[in-house]
Each structure stands twice: as C-alpha cells, then as structure tokens.
Structure 1
C-alpha cells in the first residue's frame, strides 16, 4: 500500500466588475513536503495485538503512522509489512516468522512483544531466552544489521480500563521486569530500544486513548509511540 499525500491549494476569486477579468485573491501559503531521499526502505513490524493496533483502523497502527512521519521528514520508509497476531507470545511470533519465509533485506525491523508472556504467567527466564532469539531473527531479517532494528517496550495493560479491579501494582512490577530484560538484551545485541511504557501509564483515565475493548490503544495514543520512535529511526536510517 502506498500512502499518497495530496495538497489542495484553494484559490479564492473576487467578483469581477463589468468588462474586467476576475482577479484571483492570494491563496494560503503551502509548504511542500520534502521529497523522499534515496531508494525505498522496506519496513517489517513484528509483534502481537499492540503491533496490530487491535480495534483501531489500519491507518492508525503505530508502525503505519511511523512510516508516514518518516516520509514527511524525507525518509523513503515504506508502509510496514506486519507479522503479528493478538495473543502471540515470543515463541508463537518466532514460529510465525519462520513460516512466513520473509526476505532478509528489510531496511528497518521493529519488535514489540512480551505482554502475552507476562499475561500468561510465563517465566521471565523463558522470555529472556526467546526474546534473545527473536532479536537475532530480527537482525537477520535486517540483512544482518543490528543498527536497523528497533525494539519498543511492552505497554502496561494494568492501567487500561480492561484491568479495572485487578492488581495494578503487581502487573506494573511484572511489566517492568519484562521490559528490563528487553532493554538489557537489546543493548547486548546493539539494537535500539524505545520506552513507550510511561506513555501508556499516562493514558490511564482518558477514554480517548483506548479502543472499544478497553485493552488496546487508539490511533490517537499510538501516534505518541510513532513520535517517540521517529527520532531514533531518523538516526538509524541516516
């Protein structure tokens, strides 16, 4: 899918006097978008329901918004190929990637995974092992370049409307532990890490930040993730 930006320049015309040609009035100033630089950059986005943007429109997915922002900055980042499904753990994502038989030359690969490991009560040690393997897979898909891989932290679903009545402190503590592992393993692998968890916690109490199921995030909120990731991507792709 190619996202097209259309700029409309509306010119107003004054009323013509008898025998005179109508004179156009001054139109609004338009700043053209920068032309994308260089060859197209393929983008692979890996994860679970938070990568899909469960309940939100396709155009509102964080990685789709990121590609649009990058295009607006002159980076020729293509709309993402998304490998993700609601409920997937690290192991299930790894299996899906293997079955997809993807090309190994993506210019950017993002990874957002782990909330279902935590939700299902899986051991942290298992997550570390499987996340480490996923990082190597992501690097392989980025033509062996760790500097073209981006990890996003796990959102704190304990602060969502869906989690009302649950032990929010316990959920937050576990999410922090999983994110600490993700950050550590990303650093070891030489992969960029973007912490979106504080933004998800700040969304608590604002219904506009969530989709109808109360568990997933609206396009308005995911725009924050894209904005947080953009400067990192600009450095990775420079």
Structure 2
C-alpha cells in the first residue's frame, strides 16, 4: 500500500510539473508575438502631368496626388513613410512633359506612378497624331520609373473642362467634350492592350455645371472636392499596387 501511495505521489508531481512547463512555454510564445517589431517601409510616389496634377487654383495639399498620398498614409502602418514627387505644370502638353522628364533625372525606384496628360494637346489644337505618338512614350517612361513594372502604373483619364464656366464660354463645349472623348478613348484602349491600369474620372468633372463645388475658384480647374472624388477611385487600386 505504501508503494502505491508513493507511485501516485510521483505521478501527481510529474503532472503538475508538465502543466506548469506547458503554461510557461505558451506564455513565452505569447510574449514573443507581442514583441514582434514592425519594420518601417518607405514608399515613393511619382505623379506626372499638367495643371490637373499640379493642382492649379487649389492648395498644395488639395491636389489629387497629395490627397492620394495622405489617404495611403492613413491606411498603412503608422511607421511607414510616403514620399511624393510631382512633375507637372499648368499648360504642359505631352511634348512639354517629355522634355521636363528629360531634365528631372528621375530614378527608377517608384512604387507607384500616375500619369494624367493630354488636355493641353486638345486645347492648343495640336495634331491628334502627336498624342498618338507621345502618349505611349510617356507610358513607357512611367513604367521605367515604376521599377520597370507596369503593375505599378495608373493612367488617369482627362477631365472635361467643357462642364465649367470657362468651358461654356470658350469654343464649342460639345466639340470640346467630343475631342476629350477621343483622347481618352485612345488612352484607355492603349492601356487595355498593354495591360496597364486606366482609371476614368472624366464623368466626375462632367457634373461641374450641376455641382459647382466641383469647380475651383478660377472657373476652370477641378476643386479640392473634385480631387477628393478622384482619390476615392484611385485609393483602393493604389493600395493594392503598393501592397
């Protein structure tokens, strides 16, 4: 009987010892998970374009590339950093943008590149054949800057300024819209053929006469609100591309 009690005693000691050991292991593992360090990431964004990219008549943080950057900051880890480079100027045609890129000495390490260009080709009555030649060149440049990965590029459609006070009093608004459609159709078809992301925001700007808040104070360019609506469409796509 004494031997039986001793056996039971040793079994109980082993049981509690193992249980305590397992609990300690589980605690250590839990503690290790809690102590996992998030490695900060730096993301680089490049925005190429004209007045619609530089944000004519709105504040620097109101233009769509800045709003897009700020939106990405809000959905990514707080330790991540986003750098934005804008190469754009009011009045630039495709030719102007190509020349400007040559003088910028841009690197090929951008995680996201946006391209919005062509309205000044239309407004300045440049031959459409010029856009047919130079738009693909600019897309190729964008891909090169995007780490040579077309998946990191977003082409944005041209807004329609016919639906602004300026557009209503400059030329024929119907012809303006028709020609902008021609430019956008070419760009979209090219992007589809090359498997490049094309985001249409033109319909937003075509509400400018009904919703005057979509037009900036100059009566021509998109407002901060319009750019915010652009970003609503761009953000989910940009987030996937960067992740």
Give the drift of 1:105.
0.8
In the other structure, the counterpart of 2:237 is 232
In the other structure, the counterpart of 2:146 is 142
Three-state SS of the structure 2 residue aligned to 1:211 is coil
Contact 1:45 1:111 in 2 (8 A): yes
Please list the CA deviations of residues 93-149 of structure 1 after superposition, one character each: whole Å capped at 9, or x if unmatched. 011001000111111100000000011112222101100000000000111000000
Residues 79 and 179 of structure 1: is their aligned pair in 2 closer, same or farther, counting only changes over 3 Å? same
In the other structure, the counterpart of 1:171 is 176
**Which TM-score applies when normalising by structure 2?**
0.79
In the other structure, the counterpart of 2:58 is 56
Contact 2:40 2:81 in 1 (8 A): no
The answer to whether residue 75 in structure 2 is matched with residue 73 in structure 1 is yes
Residues 216 and 37 of structure 1: is their aligned pair in 2 closer, same or farther, counting only changes over 3 Å? farther
The answer to whether residue 96 in structure 2 is matched with residue 92 in structure 1 is yes
The answer to whether residue 217 in structure 2 is matched with residue 223 in structure 1 is no
Which of 56-65 and 75-84 deviates more? 75-84
In the other structure, the counterpart of 2:195 is 190
Give the drift of 1:77.
6.4
Contact 2:66 2:84 in 1 (8 A): yes
Contact 2:43 2:83 in 1 (8 A): no
Unpaired stretches in structure 1, ≥5 consecutive residues: 1-35
In the other structure, the counterpart of 1:18 is none
Unpaired stretches in structure 2, ≥5 consecutive residues: 1-37
Structure with bigger gyration radius:
2
Which of 180-189 and 59-68 deviates more? 180-189
Higher share in helix? 2
Residues in 1 aligned to 2:232 and 2:204: alpha-carbon distance in whole angstroms: 11
Please list the CA deviations of residues 187-237 of structure 1 after superposition, one character each: whole Å capped at 9, or x if unmatched. 233221100000000122333222221111111111000111111112222
Three-state SS of the structure 2 residue aligned to 1:58 is coil
Which of 200-209 and 65-74 deviates more? 200-209
Poorly superposed stretches of 4+, deviation over 4 Å: none
**Which TM-score applies when normalising by structure 1?**
0.81
